Chain A
């Protein structure tokens, strides 16, 4: 949804530019495609504001597996044996350095350290450390790039997720997928270029549709949320009693009337409308088709796990993401909620991992087998990390961890990222970064770089200034590029 409108700069006064500027929506690809098919061959002609990337892209598309609520890096990736030795002892002031805490644990009189109860081991030739909670991910260790030193500025979920996805803690900026749609346009004729998939029935910290909104960009760049169930896209299905042929009949006559009108008023807006109606009609077929797994072999379904058979689960969304990627969707954003483990972490974390580990790994593996991993960037991660100390009461069997913005781990795979490395180092307490910190804006700059975009040169003028995903910051983390 758009918070408000902005104006896009004119892209020229040619017919193509003129049409593009009319806000043709998702179908601008289709329309210009139709108009230019003879002249330009079969490549969709909506190339976005940039026309073509600044540099040859390593990644052509992104699948972002967002783990909302902030998974505990200490129990999954960032192995800190020292914490076990210090179990129950106070977080030393020399480590905390007066850093602010949330109002939730800020009033605790004691901040007892707590080590991870899960066994860690090194995996693959790269020797990446992973906890026993992620056995499937561990098998792929040599394909993944673990960034252990991401850090952020926000301490609460709402601002932090917004920051991670839009580069600002405040609502109103476009999300990554919207920036890409704006910059690079669409790569397919029948589907939106930015699709959002949220695991069904998870609850927890809220997700807000502004995260995939277009902010001040035209709303045609906003993410289109696919839902599980009979209407994967809002209002996709014809009303009861109306079949596809009936809809075609209605459209044919609507088109005839539009053409009469076009003769009287040669308004390109009418042409655009005709094209959008046709695209809508095609989407009525293409979207159910992409959401239908019946053509997937049993071996693939098995690889993603049993959940894949239930629409709306994380596993099903991972497979759907691959199918969308195959069909030219540029940015596929998954959300899986439920990682906010302030208390009862030992009970809740293993469950979260069971829901996500196998399918995440299967997705990477599946892409690899199809030769798509080379130009598909997969990202796995949340909005911040969790504390090395216990929130609430530390008992022999139970503990929780509060929000920790100073360091957390994400992994990336494919799309021009160096496989089989762990990047960055945190201190032995897992509290501060000791070397190679990666700010959220650095991560965003790197992501854009992989897509062939100079993050400083994809911008948009709104309310008197040029905005970009990385605000006025960000540097590409060259060390992790393949």
Chain B
């Protein structure tokens, strides 16, 4: 029995210590972790780090003869260089070398010896082999298993000489399953109904009811949002607001509709590539946009681009495959069969978005989708229809107006002829000719210098053939923009935190002053004939008429140069002549000059449009014109109020991807093509080699990882720890599954059942394993402190969101409203401000006020990533900056302070006290029992009741003697006076409720 002794001491791999029967070390379970943790760094896949040209990660290489001996000679430890080195006492000979700070324990060395003795059998890494459905193991207690989950659990328990715990009592079980499927505690009515239902199907009915509740999707979605790192801000630098909550609502909806998990994956990764994608499928692609982004001044665009794509690839690895792809950004993976080529080949699937890497500090960082609600959609349709009618009217033949136009045209021709014959002589009137716009830019600079420094063509005559070199070393030229019409806002200037220059000529027949109306986003400088005539360094959105300016034109050609300076976010300009005779654009004038019969219909229509909208004076026309303007304004207003959401849209041209030396953005190596990692089965040759193909490959039944990783997370959610504890790492450095057969059975079942998440949840919660009592015994704590063997039911602290939702729910405060923009319940002052950049639009936290906002479930709470809500982070809620598939569960005094004193918990305690006073009966005992039962599900025993009451009575005495303090605690509003309660009584009950919300049994899932 030497073996037992050996195994028992392998402390860092605790599961080994309970394997009693297998007398031979198993490669994957026992040997690989030792080799991987101690040897592969220098004798593994990474060719650059490899020492002595020796590989121990490949069976053939490890067993090959080198200089007369092999590292591993099967059957002969003493004849194996590996064993002699690891067991050596000589510092110069021993492996791993002392300077590596790694060393093997005597037991590990013994394990290696035993394994070599047994012939050094090699196995593939467990998680990389395809899933096959194992047969159910035989068990002795055949009555216990309720479903196959239990056969696997029981088989192991029997092997360990352990017995399952008895079934959990009904109330604790109801509370457990209600939390696990909805994130909320059961109501008193639900408890009574379950207790009253003595049929064998009672529990299944409860499970079905919970799975059908919309609370289910909110709860399940929350875990997913951790994994995909959903947040309401961009996460870096200014950390401005990001609008992507429709994606969060999509996730919740998908769980509630029980969208099959394979479709769930495909739509999120590649919804846009599906044929004729629905709005929902596009919203789902917000999944690929959840990475943190920046717009920090000085950022190098290429660097940010690479960082964004890397983040997507790394998250893909963690969430779907349990692979630590991040390692392969800079070098081949030291432990798993992943290479840098694999990494950048995956990179190539996620680098071609039709949008810019820098987020512009905008909430709607393109590409985006507008998500009008039904009412907004209806309004838009209505306005569009009316605009259509009116525009049509404006184009239709209109005898009275057409007659006016003929006269006007004739007049124009006559004037023009007169002018031509007059040569250089002065024109008869002041008609101006405005040349087309030209633009050059964007000239990037620090915002504080955009205004003060000369850029590009500033300060000298404009030459349209001149080229300019930008900070990015890009070369830009003047570009003609005949499409920019006057009197309209143009928002398609390039670049952010940059200056653009606009140039045009204005030809005037004589020296004259004309008035122009200007708008700009943000600052503007205007030069007329190289002389500065306006400078306004402001921050604003663009609109007409922000500036009125008199331009002193000289006769002949004038040169107008405008500098538009953008300090971040959107940019744009507006220009219109507001005085003098209507100017006629050159192209329109040309049409008018042409013979009527010669004009093509398009040109004629253009002339008609110009005449009717700008020139004609007619009441009947004016009526149409003004209605058109007003309808368009109304439409624009509705449009501005429509929420947007970040989505993925593939760029029309695929961006080339390169292997980046050491992961550096500016160290481009070879170009790489899209492909999946070589060590996994390749994508179906007929599949499109894009994200859609990639997504389908992930959920292909042959893919060894996706189903395993997913069911493991569901298990972890319910039991507290995954079958694979390292839910984020299924590679050789991750922990092996505690029940490998069960994991495979579940994965196979999940896929065979059509990736049905609700069915899987139902299977798990209806197992006898899940339904065991969670009461601990000292022996069990000693034997299996982490409950990895599942000889008892799960017992662990509720997550942050569940704690807060529970308090809101028990107190009756919780709003059941679903979806919509994220909400901001109160939090302590100054948290955002202390980390915020003064220019950020999330620098100041302003709490919401409405019941529907402050009392919403926590999944809807606004997450500012650089300062997540303390109610979440204090209880280990992640910041959502990076993917998190496993939260830790700490127990700190800061948590105690939060539960004591957070105003929202105090408010909940008070509301709970009011509820007790209103509905808990008339005696102190009845009320205390009611309070206790509301919170725990059960009635207190006499000792507990006595404690609760004695605390209450002490508080009653104190607060009745000090009504001012009582009033301060329960607030001065009238809600208390509606019952026959004095403030002292309410205050005392508030403290009892506060106590209950701090009770271990209430904080824990039992």
Q: Name A residues whose Cβ lies closer than 8 Å to a Cβ of B.
A: 1-7, 9-10, 12-13, 18, 21-27, 102-107, 155-158, 171-172, 198, 200, 203-210, 213, 218-220, 224-225, 227, 229, 231, 233-243, 245-247, 249-250, 252-254, 256-258, 260-261, 264-270, 272-273, 276-277, 279-280, 283-284, 342-343, 391-393, 403, 456-457, 459, 461, 463-465
Contact = CB atoms under 8 A, between A and B. Distances in A.
Contacts of B717: none
Interface stretch (B247-255, B500-508, B700-708, B997-1005): B997-1005
> What is the interface of chain B mostly: helix, strand, loop, or mixed?
loop
B876 A276 contact: no
Contacts of A237: 901
Contact of A172 (B237, B881, B966): B881
Nearest to B898: A235
Given A206-B237, A209-B835, A242-B991, 18 more contacts: A2-B887, A4-B887, A12-B11, A23-B891, A103-B299, A158-B236, A234-B897, A237-B901, A241-B968, A249-B958, A254-B999, A256-B947, A260-B943, A266-B778, A280-B894, A283-B893, A391-B446, A459-B101
Nearest to B318: A463
B448 A203 contact: no
B445 A107 contact: yes
B125 to A, nearest CB: 12
B452 interface: yes
Contact of B879 (A3, A105, A236, A268): A3
A10 B10 CA distance: 11
A284 B896 CA distance: 11
B1001 A218 contact: no
A23 B728 CA distance: 20
Interface string B714-729: 0000000000011011
B834 interface: yes
B298 A102 contact: yes
Contacts of B446: 104-105, 342-343, 391-392
B376 to A, nearest CB: 35
Nearest to A1: B873
> What is the interface of chain A mostly: helix, strand, loop, or mixed?
loop
Given A102-B298, A104-B446, A267-B781, A227 B882 contact: no
Contacts of A158: 236-237, 294, 296
B335 A219 contact: no
Contacts of A254: 995, 998-999
A236 B731 CA distance: 43
A5 B834 contact: no
Contacts of B889: 23
B300 A103 contact: yes
Interface residues of B, number: 116
A464 B729 contact: yes
Given A250-B951, A267-B781, A25 B892 contact: yes
Interface of B: 11-12, 14, 101, 236-239, 294, 296-300, 324, 326-327, 334-336, 443-446, 448-449, 452-453, 470-472, 725-726, 728-729, 731-734, 774-778, 781, 785, 795, 797, 828, 830, 834-838, 840, 866-868, 870, 873-874, 876-879, 881-898, 900-903, 906, 941, 943-944, 947-948, 950-951, 954-955, 958, 964-970, 987, 991, 994-995, 998-1001, 1003-1004
Nearest to A211: B835
The 6 closest A-B CB pairs, nearest first, are A107-B471, A464-B733, A25-B892, A241-B968, A5-B888, A241-B969
B890 A238 contact: no
A250 B995 contact: yes
B841 to A, nearest CB: 13
A394 to B, nearest CB: 12
A218 B888 contact: yes
B299 A238 contact: no
B896 A104 contact: no
B901 A236 contact: yes
Given A4-B886, A25-B893, A103-B444, A277 B998 contact: yes
9 contacts: A1-B878, A5-B884, A25-B895, A107-B470, A156-B296, A257-B947, A279-B896, A343-B448, A464-B324
Contacts of A3: 878-879, 881-882, 884
A403 B889 CA distance: 41
Contact of B449 (A200, A260, A268, A343): A343
Nearest to A17: B11
Contacts of B236: 158
A382 B236 CA distance: 20
Most buried by B among A103, A238, A266, A267: A103
A246 B876 contact: no
A267 B471 CA distance: 63
Contact of A203 (B777, B838, B882, B947): B838
